[in-house]
Chains A and B, each alone.
Chain A
Amino acid sequence: MTENAKAARKKKIAHVVMWIVLLILFVCFIFPFLLVVINVFKTKGDITADPLSLIGAHGFTLQNFPEAMKKMNFLTVFGNSLIITVCSTILTIVLSSMTAFVIVRNGRWKLCTLIFSLMIASMVIPFQVLMVPLVSVYGPILNSRITLILMHVGFSMSMAVFMFHGSIKTNIPLELEEAATIDGCNRWQTYWKVVFPLLKPTIATVGIINAMAYWNDYLLPSLVLKKKELYTIPIATQAFYGTYSTDIGLIMAALLLAMLPILILYVFLQRYIVEGVTSGAVKG
């Protein structure tokens, strides 16, 4: 066998191995999701009897959805989740991009460098360490959507500022801002009319990553929100876990309802996520 043929064969084997590994990983990740989708259309008995069958012995049913929605007070908790996620995401995007803009354009100001360094350093502190002090300090203002929104924003600012910092530094030429200044923009107008629209890929990335985190977050809302009428979807799914019995069908329906909006958002914005994450990696 010639050297060339050997190399080609080696390449082919590597290719096949890579695909097998990818396939295994894909199945590992997609399996839980598939399990939810399959079982959500079965009765409780069918799920227990054969969780892997596509259609249960009692056939296809949509009964789990209305029951789950009623039990978890779906409209209220969906509204809560929506308000908290949308407000937190918008505030995170606006505040962190503004902060990053100031830090990047005042790089020679030592305070900016210090603040940025502190923000980066804060990313290594695990949330669990802050849980107890957080509840004890903010005790009087807990049980409010606004408190949760502000906490969400506070916890995600560092990462968001870090991402916007890189994006502004690499993708927004200073000359654009100077042109805006000469055209008559003040600092705010320069940011809002020129810089902010150019951050679209990073806005989408920060938006989707944080929206997913806020929507799916269980720990922080469970610490902050104690009143039932303020519950978000992840907390509301608790209602299905009884001490003696758990209705798997209803849980599956609730979980699917919970993940559906964010899944739709992800499908629409996924191309920006990749764009945003890689922006600045290569000079364009």
Chain B
Amino acid sequence: MSEVILKGIKKIYDGDVTAVHDVNIHIKDKEFIVLVGPSGCGKSTTLRMVAGLEDISDGELYIDGKLCNDVEPKDRDIAMVFQSYALYPHMTVRDNLGFALKLKKVPKAEIKRKVEEVARVLDITQYLDRKPKALSGGQRQRVAIGRAMVRDPKVFLMDEPLSNLDAKLRNQMRAEIIKLRSRINTTFMYVTHDQTEAMTLGDRIVIMKDGFVNQIGTPQELFGKPVNLFVAGFIGMPVMNFFAGCNLLLEGGKYYAEIRNVKFELDEFQQKALKSRNQKPCEIICGIRPQHITVGEGELSAKVEVSELLGTEFNLHARSGDDEVVMVIPTMDLNTDVSMGANIKFTVQPKLIQLFDKETKNNLIWYDPVSAKANAPECARY
């Protein structure tokens, strides 16, 4: 069992700057959890508090059931991969890999065996006697991962490990990490600002902004059930389209979303959810994913400004009133003119429309004040 529990964790610098607000995360044994968010959101600080590199200002941290707030990093049984690899430049790859074991006074034969085994798994055996400066970025990253693997830790911490690599290598290494995860089967905490990494690697994703946890959920949950405008805009590529100045109408006991004076009758699930919270008609922001838009027919219209052919699909950047609308249309489904300047009709299935309160920016369907309070009491302000 290597659960990690963060209970009301806070990080306050110099007595008044709060970098992390009251974070509550329960990471299950062998779970791969990804902390994602824009720069300065507190994700790395949270990871560093788990590693013991930053003091915890308030709250409790449990690793494997043991309160670890004041436990030295070396006694937490964790390993960490840094963004800059942090390999010791004066040591060979072999010495880098075996350094932690040497400090633990593990017998030399055992160190040799473990180092060679890890090198074989990561395919770096031929580089064991080289120094880090003689390795490429990808090879260095593998050594950094190997250095963590060789310790066989309870928790594997990774702080933006792929952000120094070029796009192609990053894709390769992402696949390597997925394979590695299935091989070593331990608990992972992974920090990134790249939502693609978060979506492809994580069992669950924690979305942070300005030190607050906004939502914790599986990639599917975050994509389909964003609790607020920030999460909706952060997850998904291209980003979700937001239509300001829309209205939630209640007519004849039924809820409608009104976008550009076009009324969409919401589906049964949405009706129930809104009724259960006794939602009053109000001004809302409607969110529609570019992939959920159907072009060629419908009540809404837009003028194509940019049309990008990406092989199997078109990315259309169009203008509808004051809003820029991005649409992803599979090439094979397209039977209308989408050239620059063309006027197109489009529509969306009502069940795929996300409804956000104009004031609180919370999702009227998916925002749950109770679970939000459990994660971060102030998350509601988004």
Complex interface residues of chain A between 155 and 180 (CB less than 8 A to chain B): 173, 175-176, 178-180
**Chain A interfacial positions (CB closer than 8 Å to B):** 173, 175-176, 178-185, 189, 194, 197-198, 200
* Complex contact A178–B103 (CB within 8 A): no
Given contacts A181-B53, A181-B73, A184-B104, A176 and B88 within 8 Å (CB-CB): yes
Identify 7 residue pairs between A and B in the complex whose beta-carbon atoms are under 8 Å apart, listed by A's number: A180-B99, A181-B53, A181-B73, A182-B52, A182-B100, A184-B74, A200-B90
Identify which of B58-66, B77-85, B256-264, B331-339 touches chain A. Answer: B77-85
Residue of A nearest to B89 (CB): A198
* Complex contact B86–A179 (CB within 8 A): yes
* Complex contact B74–A198 (CB within 8 A): no
- Nearest-neighbour CB distance to chain A for B105, whole angstroms, equals 10
* Complex contact A189–B103 (CB within 8 A): yes
**Chain B interfacial positions (CB closer than 8 Å to A):** 51-53, 73-74, 78-80, 82-84, 86-90, 99-100, 103-104, 147, 151
Question: Chain B interface mostly helix, strand, loop or mixed?
Answer: loop
* Complex contact B53–A183 (CB within 8 A): no
- Nearest-neighbour CB distance to chain B for A178, whole angstroms, equals 5
- Counting from the closest, the 7 A-B pairs by CB-CB distance are A179-B86, A183-B100, A184-B74, A184-B103, A175-B86, A197-B90, A175-B82
Question: Chain A interface mostly helix, strand, loop or mixed?
Answer: helix
- Nearest-neighbour CB distance to chain A for B276, whole angstroms, equals 48
> A178-B51, A181-B74 given. 19 additional CB < 8 A pairs?
A173-B84, A175-B82, A175-B84, A176-B86, A179-B80, A179-B86, A179-B87, A181-B52, A181-B73, A182-B79, A182-B100, A183-B99, A183-B103, A184-B74, A184-B103, A185-B74, A194-B88, A198-B89, A200-B90
Given contacts A184-B74, A194-B88, A178 and B99 within 8 Å (CB-CB): no
Report which residue of A182, A183, A184, A200 has the largest number of chain B beta carbons within 10 angstroms of its beta carbon.
A182
Residues of chain A lying within 8 A (CB to CB) of residue B100: 182-184
Given contacts A173-B86, A175-B86, A198-B89, A182 and B80 within 8 Å (CB-CB): yes
CA distance in complex: A120, B377 (Å): 51
Residues of chain B lying within 8 A (CB to CB) of residue A184: 74, 100, 103-104
Residues of chain A lying within 8 A (CB to CB) of residue B78: 182
Pick from B74, B89, B90: contact of A182, CB under 8 Å: B74
- Nearest-neighbour CB distance to chain B for A109, whole angstroms, equals 13
Residue of A nearest to B51 (CB): A182
CA distance in complex: A128, B167 (Å): 63
Residue of A nearest to B153 (CB): A182
* Complex contact B89–A178 (CB within 8 A): no
- Nearest-neighbour CB distance to chain A for B221, whole angstroms, equals 32
Residues of chain A lying within 8 A (CB to CB) of residue B84: 173, 175
CA distance in complex: A198, B91 (Å): 10
Report which residue of A178, A181, A184, A200 has the largest number of chain B beta carbons within 10 angstroms of its beta carbon.
A184
- Nearest-neighbour CB distance to chain B for A284, whole angstroms, equals 11
Residues of chain A lying within 8 A (CB to CB) of residue B53: 178, 181-182
Residues of chain B lying within 8 A (CB to CB) of residue A181: 52-53, 73-74
CA distance in complex: A182, B103 (Å): 11
CA distance in complex: A176, B99 (Å): 13
* Complex contact A182–B88 (CB within 8 A): no
- Nearest-neighbour CB distance to chain B for A98, whole angstroms, equals 18
CA distance in complex: A169, B165 (Å): 26
Residue of B nearest to A198 (CB): B90
- Nearest-neighbour CB distance to chain A for B311, whole angstroms, equals 40
* Complex contact A183–B74 (CB within 8 A): yes
Residues of chain B lying within 8 A (CB to CB) of residue A176: 86, 88
Given contacts A184-B100, A184-B104, A189-B103, A179 and B82 within 8 Å (CB-CB): yes
Given contacts A183-B100, A185-B103, A178 and B90 within 8 Å (CB-CB): no
Residues of chain B lying within 8 A (CB to CB) of residue A189: 103
- Nearest-neighbour CB distance to chain B for A50, whole angstroms, equals 55
Residue of B nearest to A179 (CB): B86
Residue of A nearest to B82 (CB): A175
Residues of chain A lying within 8 A (CB to CB) of residue B87: 179
- Nearest-neighbour CB distance to chain A for B219, whole angstroms, equals 29
